[in-house]
Structure 1
Amino acid sequence: MNLEDLRVFKEVAKEGNITKTAENLNFGQSNVTAKMKRLEQFYGNKLFYRHRHGVTLTSPGKILLSYAEQVLLLMDEAEKTLKSTDFPSGTLSIGSMETTIATRLPTILSTYHEQCPQVELSFRTGTTEDLIKAALNREIDGAFVAGEINHPELMELEVFEEELVIIAKKSILSDLNFDQLKNLTMIVFESGCFYRDIFEKWLKSKGITPSKLMELNTLDGLIGCVKAGLGISLLTKSAAEHLHQDENIKQFALPNEYAKVSTKFIYHKDIAKTCAFSEFIRVLGFLDASAEIEKIHGV
């Protein structure tokens, strides 16, 4: 049994198909099959049920998958930490909400790339809920999320404050008349989006339960639907400013208790704090935080 066998096992479990796994990993199908048989012999248990659609984990297989994910995660973090140098290099995986990556991150990422050109950046967009889960599972090094987090396993740094506004085509909404709002389609990001939660709470406070929702997963798609007059939406003012040249789109301010939301950078307390990670914290403007990371982890 070796780490490569576990990595292949994890991929087979994810795909539920040996042929697909072989294609993904650029292995021969017989090679993948041999690795799975070797694992079954090593542990003395059948790990997969074979059927005409592929394979399904047995109970022992599910147990092994849980341990394999932990082992592979720890080995990846060990490699990151031990191969870390005094100069930022390697990889850095960052998660972000759609609105943040579109409006706030370009300047930050440009500065970081200029200072750390040898770091390979990767990005993952999602809702605040999805990104918190990814950070907790250490699938990413850190993420930009909205609102209060307060999780014992996560560190959080407040990066900036956003103002939220309602946007709509003038022809369908002239003011925040709640009789009008009741009959309009609410254009929102998928469930788990913090801004969507704020939108729905504000409407509920006015006795409105949206009867028509249009769910989208991209900022461009959401803006496009608003411009087409398909409904109204709630966005950060920084994102809504992208529409300032469109005279047909109007912004409406929310009451103060709903208007202000903080954006935070979160990361797992036990994530590998590499030199690349510490430099990213510095670029965000948290010199004290990055110095403390270096002190604790010897980066």
Structure 2
Amino acid sequence: MDTRDLRTFVTIAKHGNFTKAATELGYAQSTITGQIRTLEAELGTRLFERIGRRTFLTSTAQKLMGYAQTILSLSNEMISLAELNNMPQGALRVASSESLLSTRLPSLLAEYHRLYPSVELILKYGNCESYLQDLRENEIDVCLLLDQQIVDPDFVPVIAVSEPIGLFGAPHHRLAECGKISVSDLRDETLILGEVDCCYRRLLELSMSKEGIRPKSILEIDSVEITRQLVAGNLGITVLPRVTVKNFLEKKELIELDWQGPPFNLKTQLLYHKGKWISPALKAFLELSANYFT
């Protein structure tokens, strides 16, 4: 039984006239006549009788009217529920590195929350390898990471934009006056670096290892904020994404050293697993992120 036929039945009953019903529904009169004939055949009974210029419900049709209205009401509720399910809602699990979570993500997340307040944002930060494993195990929905270009058939890249990385020190650090800085200049320096799995630390140490250079010491700090403060206090130099020290550079609390060593070819990347169902909440986040980073 087609709900369109039932809707036509109820509309004709409301107007007591086939022509007016056809006008309201936007059908040709022949169409609604065919719909009523189909419905009468399915129900095995006559639904309308015409007396003069008026159309009346038969006694059987009067009994069926309540059922028809209930079915149409339930149909409308189902449609409304389907439309609601297409609206971003529920939880969205986003993983990111601390450096991006404190710089790139706040304005993006604020705009997303403004547009889709019904979505519960769950944020997680860790390291690149843990993100990728979490994606594989469906522990997170999407991750924003900073690393060398990820090429893996399991993951779908939404964005991949170059992230400027630099070597930074206090304005009165001895290397500030040295001009161009090479790997060998780091031999007697104290380096303030992130954890061992940090991508830019990894690249810096690889460059030093290739040339047999060992720094004076390494202070391992797992906080970008603490790293910035220690470097500004001239306890050592560091390598960080430029965006994380923007305010410190503007205030001249830090300077960027003229690094001439191997480049840090790193990209900010947004990934999700190829098998992930793209929920409305995730779809909205991916689209907003793509616009944000372009």
> How many angstroms does 1:158 deviate by?
2.4
Cα gap change, 1:132 to 1:84, in 2 (>3 Å): farther
CA distance in 1 between counterparts of 2:155 and 2:183 reads 39
Q: TM-score, normalised by structure 2?
A: 0.63
Q: Which amino acid aligns with 1:182?
A: R
> How many angstroms does 1:286 deviate by?
6.5
> How many angstroms does 1:129 deviate by?
2.1
User: Is the counterpart of residue 215 in structure 1 residue 216 in structure 2?
Assistant: no
Match of 2:70 in 1: none
| Equivalent pairs, count | 206
User: Is the counterpart of residue 137 in structure 1 residue 142 in structure 2?
Assistant: no
CA distance in 2 between counterparts of 1:84 and 1:171 reads 59
Unpaired runs of 5+ in structure 1? 1-81, 288-299
Q: What does 1:9-88 correspond to in 2, within 5 Å?
A: 85-88=85-88
Match of 1:149 in 2: 150
- Shift >4 Å, 4+ stretches: 177-180
Larger Cα-atom Rg: 2
CA distance in 2 between counterparts of 1:121 and 1:167 reads 33
Match of 1:89 in 2: 89
Q: Secondary structure at the match of 2:266?
A: strand
CA distance in 2 between counterparts of 1:234 and 1:255 reads 13
User: Is the counterpart of residue 239 in structure 1 residue 240 in structure 2?
Assistant: no
Q: TM-score, normalised by structure 1?
A: 0.62
> Per-residue displacement from partner, 1:6-62 (whole Å, max 9, x unpaired)?
xxxxxxxxxxxxxxxxxxxxxxxxxxxxxxxxxxxxxxxxxxxxxxxxxxxxxxxxx
CA distance in 2 between counterparts of 1:111 and 1:253 reads 36
Match of 2:99 in 1: 99
CA distance in 2 between counterparts of 1:117 and 1:248 reads 38
Q: Confirm or deny: 8 A CA contact 2:161 2:269 kept in the other structure.
A: yes
Cα gap change, 1:206 to 1:253, in 2 (>3 Å): farther
Match of 1:160 in 2: 161
User: Is the counterpart of residue 198 in structure 1 residue 173 in structure 2?
Assistant: no
CA distance in 1 between counterparts of 2:110 and 2:161 reads 18
Match of 1:282 in 2: 287
Deviates more, 1:130-139 or 1:234-243: 130-139
> How many angstroms does 1:219 deviate by?
1.2
User: Is the counterpart of residue 185 in structure 1 residue 190 in structure 2?
Assistant: yes
Q: Confirm or deny: 8 A CA contact 1:147 1:264 kept in the other structure.
A: no
CA distance in 1 between counterparts of 2:117 and 2:249 reads 34
CA distance in 2 between counterparts of 1:230 and 1:190 reads 17
Q: Secondary structure at the match of 1:111?
A: helix
> How many angstroms does 1:106 deviate by?
1.6
CA distance in 2 between counterparts of 1:213 and 1:84 reads 54
Cα gap change, 1:231 to 1:93, in 2 (>3 Å): same
Match of 1:16 in 2: none
Q: CA RMSD in A?
A: 2.5
Unpaired runs of 5+ in structure 2? 1-81
Q: Which amino acid aligns with 2:237?
A: I
Q: Which amino acid aligns with 1:226?
A: V
Cα gap change, 1:207 to 1:170, in 2 (>3 Å): farther
CA distance in 2 between counterparts of 1:208 and 1:89 reads 52
CA distance in 2 between counterparts of 1:207 and 1:133 reads 33
